[in-house]
Amino acid sequence: MATQDLSPEIAENAESKSFRYSFKSSKSQEEIFELLLEVDKWWSGIFQETITGKSHRLNDEFLFNAGGGMHYSKQKLLDLELNKKIVWLVTESNLSFLKDTNEWDNTKIRFDISISGGSSRVTFTHEGLAPQLECYESCTGAWTQYMGELEAKLK
């Protein structure tokens, strides 16, 4: 496998209305899907996160708090396709370091899992996290850290 195939693909351009991070994994689609449903196993360990609630069935909700109160968001499990897709809707947010503290409201956090060249491909998308948002630079930086950690777990 070529080295370039192992590096993540990050899409963040002026025309994009979303942030996307994609990588390959040696794990099965089933293993990846199960890990992603355990939100505290991939969205933690960097900024003193606290995650409460559930995220296994449609309409389950969980709360995410990080950075000593700098980030609060509430996510609702909106779409679930076994071993292929998970989508959460951000129903509430308070990012206290921004002028518009609820910039994440009504954005979607999405994972797509597919097979590509004999490996699993994981594509993370934060739909609505667009370059014109105040949060874009710091939020995409944080997402890149979280996805890098997830990628390492799923090698």
pTM above 0.85, yes or no: yes
Check whether 51 has a pLDDT greater than 90.
Answer: yes
Contact 125, 17 (CB under 8 A): no
The pLDDT assigned to 112 comes to 98
Cα separation of 56 and 34, whole Å? 9
Q: What is the dihedral of CA 48, 140, 119, 40, to 10 degrees?
A: 20
Task: Could you please state the CATH topology (level 3) that the domain comprising 21-153 is classified under.
Answer: Alpha-D-Glucose-1,6-Bisphosphate; Chain A, domain 4 (3.30.530)
Q: Which of 15-19, 64-68, 117-121, 126-130 has the lowest mean pLDDT?
A: 15-19
Q: Is residue 79 very low, low, confident or very high in pLDDT (cuts 50, 70, 90)?
A: very high
**Where do the domains of the chain lie?**
21-153
pLDDT in tens, 90-117: 999 999 999 999 999 999 999 999 998 8
Contact in structure between 11 and 131 (CB atoms under 8 Å): no
Structure token pair of residue 86: 């998970």
First to last CA, the chain: 14
Average pLDDT, stretch 41-53?
A: 95
